[in-house]
Chains A and B, each alone.
Chain A
Amino acid sequence: DQQVKQNSPSLSVQEGRISILNCDYTNSMFDYFLWYKKYPAEGPTFLISISSIKDKNEDGRFTVFLNKSAKHLSLHIVPSQPGDSAVYFCAASRTGGYQKVTFGIGTKLQVIP
C-alpha cells in the first residue's frame, strides 16, 4: 500500500520553462512533506519542505504547494535548467514524536537545453 504516490515516472521540459512534479499521499496523519533530488551514483539530497500548516513554501527557483484537502503536493521549478535533470522523490513524515519518513517512487526529470 503506497502511502506516497508519484504517478509520473518521467517528465521532459525545455530549458527555461516550468517543471511541475506532482505527488499524492493517502495518510492523513502526515504533517510534513519534503522533496529530495537525486543524481545518478549519488545519494538523495534534501531540496525543499513544507509543513501542513502552510500551503506554499518558496526557495529560489523551487516552490512547493500543498493542498491538504486533496492530499496533493507539487514541486514547481522555474526556470528549469539542465542541471535540474535528476530523479525527484516526494516524501512525507509525521513530526509528533519519532516517525519514519515515507518516500514515493520518484519522477525522473529531464531538462532539454
Chain B
Amino acid sequence: NAGVTQTPKFQVLKTGQSMTLQCAQDMNHNSMYWYRQDPGMGLRLIYYSASEGTTDKGEVPNGYNVSRLNKREFSLRLESAAPSQTSVYFCASSHTNRGRNTGELFFGEGSRLTVL
C-alpha cells in the first residue's frame, strides 16, 4: 500500500524555470493538500482540493498553481521559480466524511526543491 506518493524527491531549478510536482494517493481520499515546510515556519498550506474538481488557496498560494487531475492526483506547478520558493514540499490527503474533515492527514515523503 503506497499511500501518498510524490515525485520528484529532489529538484534543483534556476530562477525563472518552471516545474510541476506530482502527487498521487491510493487511499480513495476526497481531499488533497500541498504544504511547504520552512525552518521556523512549520507547515504552511499552499493550496488544497476538498474534492475532485475543486481547488482553493491556502495561506501562501502566490507563485503556485494546482490541478486536481482526478480523485487520485493533485499536482503543484511553479510557473517561474524564485529563490523564495526553496523549500520542502509535502503533499497530503484526507478522508472527508459527510463533508467533515477532522484533519487527520496522510503525508507523502516530501520533495526538496532548491531554486538558485
Contact residues of A with B, CB < 8 Å? 6, 32, 34, 36, 41-46, 49, 89, 91-93, 95-106
Contact A100 B110 (CB under 8 A): no
What is the total of A-B residue contacts with beta carbons within 8 Å?
Answer: 69
Report B70-85 residues with CB < 8 Å from chain A CB: none
B60 interfacial contact with A, CB 8 Å: no
> Looking at chain B, what size class is its interface with the partner chain?
20 to 34
Contact residues of B with A, CB < 8 Å? 4, 31, 33, 35, 40-45, 48, 50, 58, 90, 92, 96, 99-110
Other-chain contact of A49, B35, B104, B107, B109 (Cβ < 8 Å): B104
A98 CA to B50 CA in the complex, in Å? 7
Contact B40 A101 (CB under 8 A): no
A22 CA to B45 CA in the complex, in Å? 22
Tell me which residues across on chain B come within 8 A of A105, comparing CB atoms: 40-42
